Amino acid sequence: MQFLLTISYDGTDYAGWQRQDNAVAVQEKVEDALGSIIGRPVSLRAASRTDAGVHALGQRASFFAPDLRVPTDKLPQVLNGLLPVDISVVAAAEVPPNFNPRFDAKQKTYIYNVQNSPHANPLLSRYAAHVPQELDFSAMQNAVKHFVGAHDFAAFCATGSNAKTTVREIFACEVIGGDASDAWASSPSFGGRPSLFAPILGAGSSSRNFGIRVVGSGFLYNMVRIIAGTVLYVGMGKISAEDIAGIIASKDRARAGKTMPPQGLVLVEVVY
């Protein structure tokens, strides 16, 4: 029998999802907890290999266990009793034997969080990139629209990636929050509230915190972090919203914005 877990984690103290030799990864922690329940080593296959420092609200990972004696609905609670506080299993379900958590994913949602204020708020430093300069929100709102659709995103892929094709479909791309109406806090998705933080103070009323929410069929390596960097270039006036189509068409990584740091990125949801 195969089981699918939905997992939240604070990526701050981990070397990413994927198990590795010389650093502690989220996968290792969850596999160890599963192994101590099942009594033998367990391997997890995840929907997404999040990088070091990247967070997840709805990562998915599956494992095979013919001999699982814990009822599926009790599995989250039992695993959470063995896991550190920065990793939590929020759901468990049985899935067919031929289910593949990575290749069967129909849609993934990421949010890239930015705190835009003269001084960084330390309570957001693990969960958002800090951008001190003033940003043109209306230009960024225009910029994000250009990413929607099926495009060759070669310009938005870290070099060295060995993806078979660099074509991906983006279903939605939007700037959420950043204004007085507090859309970041109230925007509905994944259980009603996808946002990590309401805009908070830090340096008084000039503080604007927002997210860049991207929903797509799948993503190339660093794609969301490069999209975020490119949208921020528009906000800073380094490029214009109308340049985005040309950057995509160029397939030239050098023309897109910089890769934003990992701590702003959250894997929000995977849909099958």
CB 166, min distance to a second copy, A: 31
Nearer to a second copy, 193 or 255 (CB): 193
**Per-residue tokens: 257:** 């914005």
Q: Does 249 bind a second copy (CB under 8 A)?
A: no
Nearer to a second copy, 121 or 166 (CB): 121
Q: Which of 39, 71, 97, 122 binds a second copy (CB under 8 A)?
A: 122
Q: Does 193 bind a second copy (CB under 8 A)?
A: yes
182 is catalytic: no
User: Do 17 and 48 meet the contact criterion of CB atoms below 8 Å apart?
Assistant: yes
Q: Which of 116, 207, 222, 259 binds a second copy (CB under 8 A)?
A: 207
Q: Cα(137)–Cα(250) distance, rounded to whole angstroms?
A: 25
Q: Cα(226)–Cα(230) distance, rounded to whole angstroms?
A: 6
Element (H, E) at 64: strand 55-64
One-letter amino acid for residue 267 of the chain: L
Q: Does 127 bind a second copy (CB under 8 A)?
A: yes
Show the DSSP H helices in the chain as ranges.
Answer: 26-38, 75-82, 137-145, 183-186, 223-236, 244-250
CA distances from 94 to 1, 61, 85 (A): 7, 12, 25
DSSP conformation letters of 212-227: EEEEES---TTHHHHH
Q: Does 80 bind a second copy (CB under 8 A)?
A: yes
Q: Does 120 bind a second copy (CB under 8 A)?
A: yes
Of 10, 21, 32, 51, which one is the catalytic site residue? Answer: 51
Nearer to a second copy, 8 or 166 (CB): 8
Q: Does 88 bind a second copy (CB under 8 A)?
A: yes
Q: Does 32 bind a second copy (CB under 8 A)?
A: no
Residues that bind a second copy (CB under 8 A): 8-10, 55, 57, 76-77, 80, 85-91, 118-123, 125-127, 130, 182, 184-186, 190-205, 207, 266
Residues that are catalytic = 51
